[in-house]
Amino acid sequence: MQKVIIIGASSGIGRELAKIFATEGYTVGVTARRLEKLQALADEIGTSVFFRKMDVKDTEGSIQSLNELVVEMGGADLVILCAGIGHLNPDLDWRLEEDTIETNVFGFTAMADTAMTFFLKQGTGHLVGISSISAVRGDSTGPAYSASKAFVSNYLEGLAKKAYKENPAIKVTDVQLGLVDTAMAKGEGLFWVAPVEKAAKQIFKAIRAEKSKVYVTKRWALIALLLKLMPRFLYNRI
């Protein structure tokens, strides 16, 4: 039986993925800041679920907790990094920017490093990171968020290259999300907002297919292409 650990599973994509993997027969481990949410998830799944309280902003504590969870579960075949935060911050409130960077950069990196180090020692494994379409270009209303997701995608690409050189049996997947109906979807005039269930199913399929990069939902691949090709003077007017 394969074993999956999902970092950030108290709500949204992480929670839905935990339910899918449990249904598919995986041994599931989940982490989040809110222990009561994890207990409720375990009760809903109705099968044996390993869970630990974790705030990825506490990098040292999170590294220890992830390593302990791996030992408790008897290993891990798949680690999915869902923990993240996003703020609309047009006024450049430093507290909001700092919160985003500590969570999406420092917290993400600590978990990605820990998982990859374990996989390299184990000789196999699959690391999945949840990034965003916002990684493609900088954003004026959430500059730290778009920059942090660019970091996530580039870091995952670096780890994928490392795995290719050192052990191709280790896989890395970069999931670039469009808009999904979670608390992270903020702002007015939102479009192409996907239900959480639909997005999670597409992510699950991409993981099973060992995709290196996937846009979720699929239509956001078109938006990503347009954003990449759009000249700066035009992008500034959007």
pLDDT at res. 189: 44
How many Å apart are CA 183 and CA 11, to the nearest integer?
A: 9
pLDDT at res. 180: 85
Residues 50-82 have pLDDT tens digits of 999 999 999 999 999 999 999 999 999 999 999
pLDDT at res. 63: 98
How many Å apart are CA 128 and CA 83, to the nearest integer?
A: 12
pLDDT at res. 194: 84
CA angle 222, 101, 77 (to 5 degrees): 70
pLDDT at res. 183: 58
Could you tell me the strand order of the sheet in which 78-81 lies?
49-53, 27-32, 3-7, 78-81, 125-132, 170-177, 213-216
Contact 2, 76 (CB under 8 A): no
pLDDT at res. 184: 54
Q: Label residues 162-190 b or e (16+ Cβ within 10 Å = b).
A: ebeeeeeebbbbbbbbbbbebebeeeeee
Reading the chain (238 residues) residue by residue, the pLDDT tens digits are: 799 999 999 989 999 999 999 999 999 999 999 999 999 998 888 777 999 999 999 999 999 999 999 999 999 999 999 999 999 999 999 999 999 999 999 999 999 999 999 999 999 999 999 999 999 999 999 999 999 999 999 999 999 999 999 999 999 999 999 988 765 544 444 557 888 999 999 999 999 999 999 999 999 999 999 999 999 999 998 8
Phi, psi for residue 45 in degrees, rounded to 5? -65, -40
Q: What is the pTM of this model?
A: 0.94
**Domains of the chain with bracketed CATH:** 3-235 (3.40.50.720)
pLDDT at res. 187: 45
